């Protein structure tokens, strides 16, 4: 049965029967999704390989306690050399 045929058939039903039909459709979809999840062989994400940068990145973590001027441009005087 196509979706269009289901919709046409549902239009012939009373409200209570339409509610039952929708409930059955939702249950069926939930079962299909659960089966799909169970049969899909999803692998958990792997950790990145331990590179030198990754192994040393923890050394700076938590070192900055405050910013003197967080919204001010950095090294603004150096831009004059480019003009």
Query: How many domains in the chain?
Result: 1
Q: Within its chain, how far is the Cα of 74 from the centroid?
A: 35
Which of the pair, 34 or 45, is modelled with greater confidence? 34
Q: What is the pLDDT of residues 15-39, one digit of tens each?
A: 999 999 899 989 999 988 888 777 7
Least Cα distance to 9 among 24, 27, 28, 30 occurs for 24
30: domain range? 14-41
Element (H, E) at 56: helix 52-56
49 versus 12: the higher-pLDDT residue is: 12
- Is 50's pLDDT higher than 70? no
Establish if 18 belongs to a structural domain. Answer: yes
- pLDDT, mean of residues 6-14: 88
The verdict on residue 48 lying in a domain is no
pLDDT confidence tier of residue 42, bands split at 50, 70 and 90:
low
């Amino acid at each position: 049965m196509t979706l269009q045929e289901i919709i046409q058939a549902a239009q012939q039903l009373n409200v209570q029967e339409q509610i039952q039909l929708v409930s059955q459709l939702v249950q069926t979809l939930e079962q299909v999704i659960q089966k799909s999840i169970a049969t899909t062989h999803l692998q958990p994400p792997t950790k990145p390989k331990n590179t030198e940068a990754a192994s040393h990145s923890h050394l700076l973590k938590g070192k900055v306690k405050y910013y003197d001027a967080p919204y001010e441009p950095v090294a603004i005087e150096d831009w004059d050399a480019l003009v």
